[in-house]
């Protein structure tokens, strides 16, 4: 008996993207996001090499040792981007739940068994890699808010009270885990979450209540832990508090925060201050920026990189300004702001809520962290440690930032644009029922 047309086409149908629920990309990956990524990678390689004088002196594989390790992490991140940008964004809906669970487990493990650095358990080793769960929690917060916000959208716009409560509770849980590690990561998490609350349409009154609750919880924590010693931590993160490690405790950091705030609000001119072990990070950072002037001294000619602790990570923006001047610093700032603008444009064209929240959340996470780093290095914010996304040396930070770029590129490829009826219809048919919520942003 001859096969029918449909039967004969069985194998072809089985491999058809539409049949297996994997629709073909609607568009090409966003060229602007790729361009920003490539520009940041080039800057990262050049400036990391320029800022690694201290590491070169201790490297066992020669002058290019720090650069080789950094490029290996960038290469791993690049592979993540290539893989993620090919995956339809709907898969991130289910995968993100697994990622959040693993992030919480990793954070709990780190809180009890992590390596003590600067008086707090910040990381742990796994298969030769240093894992920082704090970076994982930031992107986990974006996943959680994107999922809950799109599922609890009201017909007239906005998020239900249940949705706001769940999102706020999860962020408070993450914040409670982070605050023992440092104040900056906690504030950064709050900034990311509040920005996403606004994006998802949370009403101002509800947002005000959330902010008040955040403030009360933070105040209660400070009161409970106000008996901090006031000792300043070592200058470099690689210096471990051996006493804390021996005692199995992370120590209390309220004294450190108080001293940093005291220095921040000190009105004495910077050039009159004596450089000591407590303030030399910011003082050498300011010197590097002053030495850069408008046009810089050209990469590789930095004067302060050999004296500035953490020049390759927490203070790399000061080396960028010293090497490339005020103009170079502004270029880096514009790259991050450009990323936010492109993500906003992609979200505005999305017809579904989940991809819109996802692409904006990833951009917000990267850009707010970059702004925190720049504000700290330039003296706008008090001193703290925060890497510059994709430019500073790091492992977990580079991988998490690469994941965010890959997800943004995935959304730019697979989401239908408003006004294209056929593409919108095909997208809706390919999505499960709970991912068909209409995009309320339309920025």
pLDDT at 271 over 80: no
List, as own/partner pairs, every contact residues 53-59 make where C-beta atoms lie below 8 angstroms and the sequence separation is at least 24, other chains included: 53/302, 53/305, 53/306, 53/311, 54/305, 54/306, 54/309, 54/311, 54/312, 55/312
Identify the band that residue 2 occupies on the pLDDT scale cut at 50, 70 and 90.
very low
Secondary structure (DSSP) of 55-112: HHHH-SS-TTHHHHHHHHHHHHHHHHHHHHTTS-TTHHHHHHHHHHHHHHHHHHHHHH
Range of lowest pLDDT (14-28, 117-131, 163-177, 405-419): 14-28
Range of lowest pLDDT (64-68, 112-116, 308-312, 346-350): 64-68
Alpha-helical regions (H) of 265-395 = 280-292, 316-349, 353-377
Torsion over CA: 55, 314, 260, 135 (sign)? negative
Name the burial class of residue 20, with classes exposed (0-12), middle (13-18) and buried (19+) by CB atoms within 10 angstroms of its CB: exposed
pLDDT at 402 over 90: yes
In degrees, rounded to 5, the angle at the alpha carbon of residue 399 between the alpha carbons of residues 393 and 403 is: 140
The whole-number average pLDDT for the span 235-257 is 46
Which of the 8 DSSP states describes residue 18? T
The whole-number average pLDDT for the span 129-147 is 91
Query: How much is the pLDDT for 13?
Result: 36
pLDDT at 17 over 60: no
Query: How much is the pLDDT for 66?
Result: 74
The whole-number average pLDDT for the span 285-300 is 91
pTM of the shown model: 0.85
């Amino acid at each position: 008996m001859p096969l029918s047309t449909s039967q004969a086409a069985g194998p072809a149908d089985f491999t058809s993207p539409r049949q297996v629920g994997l629709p073909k990309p609607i568009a090409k990956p966003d060229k602007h996001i790729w361009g920003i990524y490539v520009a940041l990678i080039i800057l990262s390689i050049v400036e990391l090499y320029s800022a690694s004088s201290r590491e070169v002196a201790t490297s066992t594989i020669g002058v290019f040792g720090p650069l080789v390790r950094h490029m290996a992490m960038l290469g791993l991140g690049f592979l993540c981007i290539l893989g993620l940008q090919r995956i339809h964004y709907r898969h991130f809906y289910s995968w993100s739940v697994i990622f959040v669970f693993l992030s919480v487990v990793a954070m709990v493990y780190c809180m009890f068994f992590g390596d003590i650095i600067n008086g707090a358990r910040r990381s742990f080793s796994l298969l030769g890699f240093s894992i920082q769960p704090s970076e994982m929690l930031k992107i986990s917060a974006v996943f959680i808010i994107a999922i809950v916000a799109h599922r609890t959208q009201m017909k007239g716009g906005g998020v239900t009270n249940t949705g706001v409560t769940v999102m706020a509770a999860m962020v408070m849980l993450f914040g409670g885990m982070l605050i023992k590690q440092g104040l900056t990561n906690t504030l950064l998490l709050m900034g990311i979450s509040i920005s996403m609350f606004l994006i998802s349409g949370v009403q101002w009154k509800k947002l005000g209540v959330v902010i008040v609750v955040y403030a009360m919880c933070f105040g209660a924590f400070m009161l409970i832990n106000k008996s901090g010693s006031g000792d300043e931590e070592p200058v470099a993160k690689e210096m471990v508090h051996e006493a804390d490690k021996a005692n199995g405790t992370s120590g209390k950091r309220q004294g450190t925060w108080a001293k940093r705030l005291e220095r921040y609000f000190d009105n004495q001119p910077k050039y009159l201050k004596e450089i000591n072990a407590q303030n030399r990070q910011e003082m050498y950072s300011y010197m590097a920026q002053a030495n850069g002037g408008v046009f810089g001294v050209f990469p590789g000619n930095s004067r302060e990189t050999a004296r500035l602790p953490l020049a390759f990570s927490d203070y790399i923006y000061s080396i960028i300004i010293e090497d490339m001047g005020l103009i170079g610093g502004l270029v880096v700032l514009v790259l991050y702001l450009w990323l936010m603008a492109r993500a906003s444009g992609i979200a505005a064209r999305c017809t579904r809520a989940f991809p819109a929240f996802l692409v904006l959340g990833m951009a917000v996470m990267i850009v707010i962290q970059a702004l925190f780093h720049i504000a700290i290095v330039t003296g706008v914010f008090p001193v703290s440690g925060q890497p510059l996304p994709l430019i500073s040396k790091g492992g977990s930070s580079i991988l998490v930032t690469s994941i965010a770029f890959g997800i943004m590129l995935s959304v730019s490829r697979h989401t239908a644009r408003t006004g294209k009826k056929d593409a919108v219809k095909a997208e809706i048919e390919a999505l499960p029922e709970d991912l068909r919520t209409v995009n309320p942003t339309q920025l």
